[in-house]
Structures are given as structure tokens and as C-alpha cells.
Amino acid sequence: MSVDWRSDRVRAALRGENPTVLRRLSAGFAVIGDNQHLPGYCVLITDDPSVDRLTDLPRERRLAFLADMDLLGEAVARVCARRDPGFRRINYEILGNLDAFLHAHVRPRYDWEPAELRQGPVYRYPTQVWRDPAYALGPAHGELRAQLVAELDRLADSRP
């Protein structure tokens, strides 16, 4: 019986079996989100499955993780701004309430979002949006994925 990579995203990434991985970074993996109702949504996941909180990391690794989050956010912002004139900003979230491994959400926000949801946290979207198969990551996101990888490569290669 095969184990679904979603049950242990970090170890699956370390084994090269997590299909959402865009690129390995200095302290984690940049992954594209399973749901793309906000196109470009990505997550930075730790590369250490034993790490549950940012404060579990020694200071140097903690700063590296935050620098990776910044790099991923910049890449997402650049790609989303080129793709959609309605792009507004990036929201960053380290929550840790559901998945017991360190991860940071990098969420693009857009002018075309419903007014009542545009200014609040993304979690205010109704459950049916999160579960809608129309937004599930799939082959239709190949170009977006390629653009994110190219931008991550450009930015990562230009940093000291």
C-alpha cells in the first residue's frame, strides 16, 4: 500500500515525492498551494520534519527560514503582478494550527476578490471555495508553476 504524500509533506519533499515542490530553498521548500482560488498561492515548508514552530529552530536557521519566506513572497508578487493587473499585495501567515510542521503561507491578494472578503483573512472564504475542484492544483496551473520556478531561480541565484 502506497502512502499519500499529503500525509507527510515534508518527508515527501525530502524524498523528492511531493509534486507541489517548486524549488528547494536554504531552509525549506517552496511549494505551490493545493488550492489556487487566489492564483499564485504558495507555501514555504520546513526541511526538518521535527520542527513544529519557528522558535524550534536555532536563530540562524530561523532567520534563513524567514529569508526564504521573503524570497518566495517576492517571487509570487512579481509573477502575479505580471499575470494579473488586479494583483494588490502579498499576505504572509505562519499559523501552525492544523499541520504540525513549520510552514508559512504566501497568499496573493487581488482587487477582483469580493469586497466583503478582500480586506480580511483568506480563511473567511466559504468552505465550498476551498473544496471546489475548479480551484484544485492541476495541469491547468503548469504555466503559473513554470513562471514561479523561473522567478524563484532568478531571485535565489541573485542573492548572496
33-86 pLDDT, tens digit each: 999 999 999 999 999 999 999 999 999 999 999 999 999 999 999 999 999 999
Q: Give the predicted TM-score (pTM) of the model.
A: 0.94
Q: Contact, 52 vs 103, CB < 8 A?
A: no
Cβ neighbourhood burial of 108 (10 Å; 0-12, 13-18, 19+): buried
The pLDDT, as a whole number, for residue 160 is 66
User: What amino acid is encoded at 105 in this protein?
Assistant: H
Q: In which band, very low, low, confident or very high, does the pLDDT at 4 lie, cut at 50, 70 and 90?
A: confident
Class for the domain spanning 5-158: alpha beta
Question: Which run of H or E residues covers position 118?
Answer: helix 115-118
